[in-house]
Chain A
Amino acid sequence: MTKEEFIAELAEEMEIETTVTAETNFQELDEWDSMGMMVLIGFVSEKFEVSLNAEDIAKLTTFESLIDKIGVDKFS
């Protein structure tokens, strides 16, 4: 999965209606709430077997920072 595919699929799962890029701060999106966080944790766990917790996510801002947290080497 490329970074672009990851961001597009995650945005789809989170039902984000605006256009997002790697630089978008997901915490500032209208759609970001506790369910959104649950979807993000579940999606990342399913695709990468990486378990993020609420503390990890609180430190993240942009999709790029999320990708860094997951590990850039896991993307093609």
Chain B
Amino acid sequence: MAMKKNDLKGKNILVTGATSGIGKGICIALLSQGARVIGIGRDESKVSDLSFEDNKFLFLPYDLNNIDGIEGLFQNNSVAQEKLDGLVLCAGKEETVPLSLYKGDKIKSLFNLNLFSGIELLRIFSKKKFSKDNSSVVFFSSVMGELGQPGKVGYCATKSAVLGVVNSASLELAKRKIRVNAVSPGVVATPMTKKLFSQLSDENVKQIEEMHPLGIGQIEDVVPTVLFLLSDDSKWITGQNIKIDGGYSIQ
């Protein structure tokens, strides 16, 4: 059997949350492998350091909290020019809010970004005019999609809901051999985690670290699995939730 491992050269991939953390790491890895990347994020200055060949990286500044405007992004000529081979949904927000303060508007706002923006992107992506057959979609859930922690009712609910979307959409899109999977990282050293840790006591941070038998993850621990799921090497894998968590969830 001839193996061409994780061949992504020339593939056309859209990545949300492209300006920071894991999303940015995925963009860098894809560009280094010769893929064409469309990145969505709020702050273009955060990707000004990305180096790439001409026309390989297109950045679309956009706040995904605004669900109704997402379809318009796809009408952008340079997006519509070539059908997509992949969609990676990294944009998300983590927040710690005790249940007693979690009023409707606050939790709706988290669902808007962590869940509804992803469903809307998938809805548009799934149209034949925007995606190729055999393309691949990677959602970001979290170990919190199946587990819990105090103060995380919103985050856990959104990440759990993502898994429901993956289950259903993978069946719905199987006809076109479009695959839909989730990755569920444990705690990874990113700007988002840094913000979370700053709100906790040193003791709590240490506890979280100790809950990961292999220690806290790095961005490069998560990226290769996403590349694998985007590549044709995973063409018989769909509807799965792949945990990348240093052993966190096995305990």
Task: List chain A positions with a Cβ less than 8 A from chain B.
Answer: 13, 34-35, 38-39, 41-43, 46, 51-55, 58
| Main secondary structure on A side of the interface with B | helix
**Interface residues on chain B, size class:** 10 to 19
Q: Enumerate 22 A-B pairs (CB-CB under 8 Å) in ascending A order.
A: A13-B100, A13-B101, A34-B150, A34-B201, A34-B204, A35-B150, A35-B151, A38-B96, A38-B97, A38-B98, A38-B151, A42-B97, A42-B98, A46-B101, A51-B199, A52-B199, A53-B199, A53-B200, A54-B198, A54-B199, A54-B200, A54-B204
Residues of B within 8 A of A53 (CB): 198-200
A39 adjacent to B100 (CB under 8 Å) = yes
From residue 124 to 139 of chain B, which have CB atoms closer than 8 A to chain A?
none
From residue 149 to 199 of chain B, which have CB atoms closer than 8 A to chain A?
150-151, 198-199
Tally of contacts, chain A with chain B, CB under 8 A: 38
From residue 68 to 111 of chain B, which have CB atoms closer than 8 A to chain A?
96-98, 100-101
B101 adjacent to A54 (CB under 8 Å) = no
CA of A2 to CA of B96 in the docked complex: distance in angstroms? 27
Shortest C-beta distance, A35 to chain B (Å), equals 6
Partner of A43, one of B101, B151, B202: B101
